[in-house]
Amino acid sequence: MSGRYKIMWKGGQGELTEKKSRFIATVEPVSTEEEALAFVERTRKKYWDARHNCYAYVLGERGQLQKCSDDGEPGQTAGRPMLDVLLGQEIRDVCVVVTRYFGGVLLGTGGLVRAYSGAVVEGLKKCKIVEKCPGRLLVMVSDYTGIGKIQYILGQRKIAVLDTQYTDKVLVKAMVPEEETERLMAEIMDGTGGRTRMTLGDLIYFGVTDGEIVLL
């Protein structure tokens, strides 16, 4: 399992108008090339009367698979600028299609590059992007004397707490980034004088969106 990287969690749509041409950017999370191409085809069918449906997608934790298409626009004026926006924001597992309705005025190569890349930026503003992080579920059981210290340490490190249960003891479940687990556990043991019992779960991917933990 590799390190952190950003993925598209929820797609969206944005648009801009440039010299009467309308550019509609539709963004979708995808996990395979087949899904990306199927999304492109669905978008083409939806906007069947448009002059162009250009696309770009990036797949894999290191962006191993990257493809783009100008769909009839002059070379390097549509697909590549769209792809550059995705790469610049370091987003993975994403596909974007920019649909152009021609307004009758030629934009020139510079104008096309700005319009297609700008449309992608507008589309991404409507999306939810999550940082995919390798981590472990840490379950901590402490007495009431130690819970304040545990909550303070978790808050200082901005560790996401999933659940807290109060009985004769206090049980806290937290999702901890993999690189922080060893140091965090040592700090909690030291801070609570060794009175906290801890159990570490298997390595998984998680992210945070709208303040909530999502398992990926």
What is the pTM assigned to this prediction? 0.80
User: What value does the mean pLDDT take over residues 170-197?
Assistant: 94
Instruction: Compute the mean pLDDT over every residue in the chain, rounded to the nearest whole number.
Output: 94
Nearest CA to 2 out of 63, 88, 81, 70 is that of 63
Q: What pLDDT is attached to residue 20? A: 94
User: In Å, how far are 7, 61, 83, 156 from 24, measured between CA atoms?
Assistant: 21, 27, 16, 42
Of 214 and 28, which is predicted with more confidence? 28
pLDDT at 160 over 70: yes
* pLDDT classification of 2: cutoffs 50, 70, 90: low
User: What value does the mean pLDDT take over residues 104-108?
Assistant: 93
**φ, ψ at 172 (rounded to 5°):** -125, 130
CATH of domain 133-215: 3.30.70.240
Locate the domains of the chain by residue range: 5-126, 133-215
**C-beta separation of 24 from 13 below 8 A:** yes
Domains 5-126 and 133-215 share a fold: no
Mapped onto helix, strand or coil, the DSSP state of residue 13 is: strand
The structure tokens listed for 38 are 């199927």
CATH level 2 (architecture), domain 5-126:
2-Layer Sandwich (3.30)
